[in-house]
Structure 1
Amino acid sequence: MSFKSWQSYWKFRNAVTNSSRYIFEEETDRFLAEVLETCKLRQRTIKKGAIFWRSQLGGDSRPVYDDDGNEIADKPCPHPVDRMKPLKFSASEGRANPKGIPYLYLATSKETAMSEVRPWIGSEISVAQFKINNELTIIDCSVNHSENPLYFDLERGFYEPSDEEKEKSVWAHIDKAFSEPVVQNDNSAHYVPTQIIAELFKNNGFDGIAYKSLLSDGYNVVLFHPEVAEILNCFLYEAKNVKFEFNETANPYFIRKQSET
């Protein structure tokens, strides 16, 4: 089995976003079957005892008492344990999970975890360290995240490459979809394609996915069953510096004033 086209992910994305989301079209079913068939080369093992990190904006406070037992001040501290875990019955949606179904979003370093919550200078950030309690099998959706294949030339226009190149192209588009930072004005439909792919892996026995963070040098890991990891400790940080870089993404336009007559 091979992907029908190097553009198969884009066609799948458009179908589930704009056409048929809950009852799949035949081409969508075929695409998902191909994803499941070709994901075998991307299986990765997370060993028992592995350490990951999770951040939440903000922190808590605890009272400070004098020698006579009188409360004299409040001292900043990290969020409590329950606040550092996904909410069981009111989970917000993310790039991998639908609203109401909690997944555990982790990062490979505390710096990556803090970057993912997009703090501003002066923000307090609670950072928890998690330990994995048993061996897990995940799908790596980071392999080709920086690639954006396009098969086009002046003679043929868009054309179909070999099956091997089709597969590489489709997975590059999947990897990129998981890694793309989501902006605040994105609507919920933006998450649908990656949520469906994540649920495909979940329903076929995998424990989670990994994808590249574009906000830092690290990686993110999403676990489908939050109970497989436990919190070891929690820290409170303050954001001291935020660096932005910009790329121009479109041609500018210019306003020409009409000369007075």
Structure 2
Amino acid sequence: MSFNSWKSYMQFSYSVRNKSRYILDGSAQSFLQGIKDTCKSRIEVIEPNSEMWRAQMGHDCLPLLQDGIHVDDIFAPYSEKRMRPLPDSASEGRANPKGIPCLYVASQKETAMSEIRPWLGSSISVARFTNSKELQVIDFSKQLNVKLPFYFSEPDDAKRIEAVWTNIDKAFSQPVTNSDQKSDYAPTQIIAELIKSLGYDGIAYRSSLGRGHNLALFDLHSVIFKESSLFRVNDVQFSFESNDDERFNEKYV
């Protein structure tokens, strides 16, 4: 079994955002079964001792003492405790609902820093993590550079699967802002929870702000903290495109 339609993700997304989120109807359940049946081709293995990065805005202040007298403060990167999410107060994320945290890391240091959208002159604490054992994740980036498909009638099964995964991959790569409605997270959160229930260690998806991949790891302690460093933002670049641009319109079909 695969998917009932090449539009299955769009139908699922609308349903869980606007109709019913916690009691899924038959169509939504069928869509999730399609993911179960087709996701194995997207398994990626993260070998032991791979480096992963996590960034947070800000820094610690450590007291500089001279003869027991506080004379100044020294900026220092956040400690491990601050660089991991709190287990009982997680905010909404692309792959997690409020209160159920994931550890979001990136495959590249620069990607991790870009993802937090820093401003010019700001300080960023960046932690380096590594894994002691092999991690298996589902990759949601394989179809990212494929143009969003459109069919007037249902295609064959192979094209239907490709179309659905193309829409899913693009959904995971969409930038997230604080102004987004929380319901917009629901489709990807449900898919991520499904992947978690299948026993995988996390999900991978392309960053919209850097060249690397983002990882959402379900076990907060699946990676080992190695060190943290402090960085200052020296340059911020923006790129713009018109609403009339075909690439822009593709994002919102």
The answer to whether TM tops 0.5 is: yes
Partner of 1:53: 53
Q: Which runs of 4+ in 1 moved over 6 A?
A: none
How many residues of Structure 1 are paired with residues of Structure 2 in the alignment?
Answer: 245
CA distance in 1, matches of 2:149, 2:204: 24
Larger Rg over CA atoms? 1
- Is the aligned partner of 1:30 residue 2:24? no
Q: Which residue does 2:90 correspond to in 1?
A: 91
Contact residue 151 and residue 159 of structure 1 kept, 8 A: no
Q: Which residue of 2 aligns with 1:219?
A: 213
1:241 aligns with 2:240: no
Conserved 8 A contact 2:205-2:214? yes
Give 2:10's aligned residue. Answer: 10
Name the structure 1 match of 2:41: 41
Report Cα offsets for 1:161-195 as digits up to 9, x if no partner. 22111111110111111111012211110110000
Could you tell me which of 165, 171, 194 is aligned with 2:165?
171
Q: CA deviation at 1:5?
A: 1.2
What amino acid maps onto 2:56 in structure 1?
Q
**Alignment partner, residue 254 of structure 1:** none
CA distance in 1 between counterparts of 2:213 and 2:222 reads 19
- Distance in 2 between the 1:195 and 1:146 partners? 22
Separation (CA, whole Å) in 2 of partners of 1:94 and 1:146 = 23
**2:148, 2:167 → 1: CA distance?**
8
The Cα shift of 1:227 comes to 0.9
Contact 1:139 1:206 (8 Å CA) reproduced: yes
SS state at 2:94 partner: coil
Q: CA deviation at 1:133?
A: 2.3
Rate the CA distance shift 1:222–1:195 in 2: closer, same or farther, 3 A.
same
Structure 2 unmatched runs, 5+:
246-253
Distance, in Å, in 2 between the alignment partners of 1:77 and 1:207 is: 31
Give the TM-score taking structure 2 as reference length. Answer: 0.94
Give the superposition deviation at 1:136: 1.2
For residues 230-253 of structure 1, the C-alpha deviation after alignment (integer angstroms, 9 at most, x for no partner) is 2100001011111100111149xx
Query: Identity across aligned pairs (percent)?
Result: 47
CA distance in 2, matches of 1:31, 1:2: 8
1:192 corresponds to which residue? 186
Residues 211-243 of structure 1 show CA distances to partners (whole Å, capped at 9, x for unaligned) of 000101111011001111121000010111111
2:176 aligned residue (176, 179, 182): 182
1:23 CA drift (Å): 0.6
Aligned residues: CA RMSD = 1.2
State the alpha-carbon separation in 2 of the partners of residues 101 and 190 from structure 1.
17
Specify the alignment match of 1:202 in structure 2. 196
| Mapped partners of 1:81, 1:151: distance in 2 | 47
- Summarize deviations over 1:63-106 as a string: whole Å, max 9, x none: 1123x232211111111221100111111110001110111000
> How does 1:62-73 map onto structure 2 within 5 Å?
62-66=62-66, 68-73=67-72
Indicate the SS of the match to 2:221.
Answer: helix
